Structure 1
Amino acid sequence: MKLRSVLLTAVAVSALLLTGCSSTGSSDTAGSDSTSASNGAWSYKDATGTTVKVDHTPKKVVVLNDIAISFVQYGLHPVGTFGQLTMADDARFTGLDTDGITQLGTGYGDIDLEKLAALQPDLVVTSVYPTDEKGTLDTSQPGYGFKDMAQQKQIAAIAPVAQVRWGGKGLDVIKDITGLAESLGAKQSKVDAAEKRFDTAKGKLETAAKDSDLTVVSMYADGDGAYVTRPADEPTLQMYTDFGVDLVNPKPKGFYWGIYSWENAGQITGDVLLLSQQGYQVADLEKQPTFADNAALQAGQVHSWTFPALDYASQADYMTKLAGWLDDSKKLS
């Protein structure tokens, strides 16, 4: 399945409900408010407008890999995870403590419901992507990482599901995920330290972007063609744009991706390429006749785009690397 396949398709067993867990509809405006009352009750208003309620602060949480990374960075320890990549194959988990976290599947939509039920989770957390540049959420479609609505309903019968908006301004998403993590018991010392590192990395990236005056392309590629990310539609790239990075907007129209056939891939230009950790890698691109002479590819100015998790720590790490890449690269276009 292609990277962020839900976005591509958007634009082009059952278990008893755990005692004490419920989710109820809320008002028509969705926020990210979470509360943990003095009596132990916990609630969270998710991106879909649903207020998820648990009669105690959830301790056993199953989380989409994109967000599980952030939770671990903040000192939380999910009991299980799922997503497009396994922890072993996802470079973002490198160096993180994953002991005791159960891998519930090997790919998108692959979630072992029996394993999930055996974990007796208090809460399942995933994300939801907008379907257009206006930020529209299609609640008739499953949350990210779920195969279909039937599977989502089976999961919701095991534990309530909370969905975090993965769109709009990157800093807003970071704040939402951080707030959710804090409501679940994240270590404040880790959050504060991560935010300080983030601020330092932001300064380095702003300086490198200004001094280098380079253009940057974020892309995924496979046998069908090259997919250039539209910066405004990806929260992390939107944030980097705010920090001064000159990210290239693809010419083909469409939400999130500008899709180039290999016949037209020669139109993709930039000084630095951020290449998805999934799909074609450098050796594959070098075999494409219409792309092998790409200036950034020939200059060796290609680096891994890991879709860094939207938390202060993960972003600090990636922004520091990106600043270094910009400092070490030369102008090609």
Structure 2
Amino acid sequence: MKLRSILLTAVAASALLLAGCSSTGTTGSSAGSGSSAAAGGAWSYEDATGTTVKVDHTPKRVVVLNDIAISFVQYGLRPVGTFGQLTMASDARFKGLDTDGITQLGKAYGDIDLEQLAALKPDLVVTSVYPTDEQGTLDPKAPGYGFKDKAQEKQIAAIAPIVQVKWGGKGLDVIKDISGLAESLGAKESTVAAAEKRFDSAKDELTAATKRQDLRVVSMYADGDGAYVTRPADEPTLQMYRDFGVDLVTPKPKGYYWGIYSWENAGQISGDVLLLSQQGYQVADLEKQPTFADNTALQAGQVHSWTFPALDYASQAQYMTQLAGWLDDSKKLS
């Protein structure tokens, strides 16, 4: 399924959402939207939808959307299964991570083998939920991200309770929510703190690079229907990078999350560096588009993979370090 079609299942069609500091809160010492682990072992978590999920013990067998599974692994947790728009083998974000023992429950968005899921005997399923507009509105009638529809979500909920993490707003807030949730499930505070320290160093490195180089950066996805430029204010990671000094281009076409350019109008997209989604068209495909082949960043080879880096301190530290290097190695074109 194309990325464009995938994310249309996550938000209202009118939104056309296309598409994965320290920990704070109260889970004993940490939390996401609000979680707790009582001395007797009971565990509860208030998720982004306002639903409080309760389990009579701290969940150990957890099935997680790939976007968040990456973060859990980074923090030393071991999900028993994962699902999402990409398999672990095809998702660049899993490169270098130990995925031994994690079951891949499907090969595409909404493709979740329910029998296989039940066989894993999960205590908990964790996914995300995307807002439908700039105000952060959540649609209670929409399924959680990664689920094909509400019917499938109901089937999954019959196997294990579901927690949904809000994937919108400020990037640092999402990082704190995921870090808190991970700690409530057993991640060591020292592991999270060490990752946060690397994050802070990478943030400083990225900020310094933006001051050395006056470059405009475009984040985009493309397929046969056109080019989709991400609206930085609506994507948590890009919102955070903009706060750190990256000059991210806001697309001219109106709309939530993406500015959509037909291929006839794709020549209007300009910047010094392109961050191209790991899904959809790649460089060779863009070079075949008559209206985009002469894009200055494309011609200069200043195109890098936009992996939608996971929103945890460790993953973001890795990507920000890469991005700082790319900026330093690039030149002003526009």
1:184-333 alignment, distance < 5 Å: 184-333=185-334
Deviation sequence 1:246-304 (CA, Å, 0-9, x none) = 00000111000101000000000000000000000000000000000000000000000
1:2: how far off? 2.8
d(CA) in 2 for partners of 1:263 and 1:158? 48
SS at match of 1:11: coil
d(CA) in 1 for partners of 2:125 and 2:5? 21
Look up the match of 1:171. 172
Which stretch of structure 1 is more off in the superposition, 185-194 or 65-74? 185-194
SS at match of 2:87: coil
1:210: how far off? 1.6
Look up the match of 1:136. 137
1:6: how far off? 5.0
Look up the match of 1:68. 69
d(CA) in 1 for partners of 2:121 and 2:181? 20
1:190: how far off? 1.6
Look up the match of 1:83. 84
Displaced runs of 4+ in structure 1, greater than 3 A? 4-9
Look up the match of 2:19. none
1:209: how far off? 0.9
> Share of identical aligned residues, percent?
85
Which residue identity does 2:333 align to in structure 1?
Answer: L
Look up the match of 2:2. 2
SS at match of 2:222: strand
Look up the match of 2:18. none
Look up the match of 2:13. 11
d(CA) in 2 for partners of 1:241 and 1:126? 26
SS at match of 2:164: strand
SS at match of 2:137: coil
d(CA) in 1 for partners of 2:138 and 2:128? 11
1:7: how far off? 4.0
TM-score, normalised on structure 2? 0.93
Which residue identity does 2:2 align to in structure 1?
Answer: K
1:189: how far off? 2.3
Look up the match of 1:115. 116
1:139: how far off? 1.1
Look up the match of 1:46. 47
Whether contact under 8 Å (2:65, 2:83) holds in the other structure is yes
SS at match of 1:262: coil
SS at match of 1:198: helix
d(CA) in 2 for partners of 1:233 and 1:158? 33
Unpaired runs of at least 5, structure 1: 13-30
Q: CA RMSD in A?
A: 0.9
d(CA) in 2 for partners of 1:185 and 1:11? 38
Which stretch of structure 1 is more off in the superposition, 204-213 or 156-165? 204-213
Look up the match of 1:17. none
TM-score, normalised on structure 1? 0.93
Whether contact under 8 Å (1:105, 1:111) holds in the other structure is yes
Whether contact under 8 Å (1:6, 1:144) holds in the other structure is no
Which residue identity does 1:304 align to in structure 2?
Answer: S
Which residue identity does 1:63 align to in structure 2?
Answer: V
Whether contact under 8 Å (1:7, 1:129) holds in the other structure is no
d(CA) in 2 for partners of 1:283 and 1:7? 24
Whether contact under 8 Å (1:220, 1:278) holds in the other structure is yes
1:4: how far off? 5.8
1:11: how far off? 3.4
Whether contact under 8 Å (1:11, 1:255) holds in the other structure is no
SS at match of 1:162: strand
Deviation sequence 1:14-52 (CA, Å, 0-9, x none) = xxxxxxxxxxxxxxxxx7011000010000000000000
Unpaired runs of at least 5, structure 2: 15-31
Which residue identity does 1:177 align to in structure 2?
Answer: I
